[in-house]
Amino acid sequence: MTDLQASLMAIGGAIVVGVITYNKWQEYKAKKSVQRAFSSEHDDVLMHSEATAGEVVSERHEPMFAPTPEHPGAEPEIDAGGEAGAQPVEEHQKELPVDELIDCAISLALEAPARGEKILPKLQALRHVGNKPVHFIAQRDDGIWEPVTHGGMYYGLFAGVQLANRSGALNELEYSELIMRLRQVCDEIDAEPDVPDMTDVMTRARSLHQFVAEYDAQLSVNVQAKGAPWAINTLLTALERQGFDLRPDGRLVMPDGEGDILFSLSTNVTLAAETTARLTLLLDVPRVTPARDGFGAMIACARMLAARLDGVVVDDGNQPLSDAALTEIAEQVQAFYQQMEAAGIPAGSTRALRLFS
């Protein structure tokens, strides 16, 4: 081996050692930065307030409030329709799994009163057509409508298939399948369906899906590291202590205390990654009730994280978000909520949760 070769090998070895040492130092800095940020023992008001939870969808938007209806303030044209026969009692209808505003309700005339335990197994065989859920409600002798249960005696029956959701409107094939299977069920429980006209049902389904498409809004903000990236393992542990729930797919969600989600957080890397320099918080606007102020809670959380982690709150273009811009968006969110309320589908309500699913 010549002196030149020996020198080159020595230099190469020194470079490798230097790279390894640098990487270890970067990992150490990332871990310590997160540990320092969350070392405080005091409680966060945000994390223990009533405003807590959110769900990531496949498409998100940075703070730019859109879409909105073509005519703001005008009620979308959603025809609830009305089939012949006995109708569910109005004051109980919104709490029932069959809702005539978002479902196609089909009357099933029973030949004789039926016990719940006799018909329930037959009804449970029909739960979906395509990805649209199917539900049943029945009328007791006191006129009250309820989901079919064991021990009940029922004198009327309704089936309902959801007309639309985020994936699309009920289509002709799904409706045809529903009617075919519903007739089979009726033969087994001695009932006769009053089948609505397909054309009318498809018109209602498309109208409702248009509403869903127009009001399907998600808002996101990001927290970008100013310096070294954050260590994932330490970061996840700290965020879980702050109230976030870690889901199997790697998303972190802030629960609202009632089984739903206020907003979500993504580390923008896989669980196998060691560090991240960017966090994304996302609010699924129509699924969060205005009373919980999901947008305000999300922004407060983003600011808290930025302060603790030495980061900055930015939009998807990596531009810092000013207080004035965030205030304007918050006002637009409130206008959006008012429009949903006027349409009879308040954000965060059972109707909204079913439609925006």
DSSP structure string for 146-203 = EE--TT-EESEEEEEEE-EETTEE--HHHHHHHHHHHHHHHHHHTEEEEPPPHHHHHH
Query: Quick one: tokens of 260?
Result: 């739903």
Q: How far apart are CA 180 and CA 123, in angstroms?
A: 14
Element of type H or E holding 45: none
> Can you give the pTM of this predicted structure?
0.76
Given a contact cutoff of 8 angstroms between Cβ atoms, the answer to whether 164 and 205 are in contact is: yes
Identify the segments of the chain with pLDDT beneath 50: 4, 8, 19, 41-59, 61-85, 89-91, 93-94
Other CB atoms within 10 Å distance of the CB of residue 151: 7
Element of type H or E holding 80: none
Query: Class of 90-213 per CATH?
Result: alpha beta
Q: Is 171 exposed, middle or buried (0-12, 13-18, 19+ CB in 10 A)?
A: middle
Fold match, 37-68+215-355 / 90-213 = yes
Count of helices and strands (H, E) across the chain:
9, 18
The CATH number, out of the four listed (2.160.20.10, 3.90.550.10, 3.30.1400.10, 2.102.10.10), of the domain defined by the range 37-68+215-355: 3.30.1400.10
User: What is the distance of C-alpha 25 from the center of its chain?
Assistant: 40
Residue 302: φ, ψ to 5° = -60, -40
- The residue extents of the domains of the chain are 37-68+215-355, 90-213
pLDDT recorded at residue 230 = 96
pLDDT recorded at residue 76 = 42
Element of type H or E holding 50: none
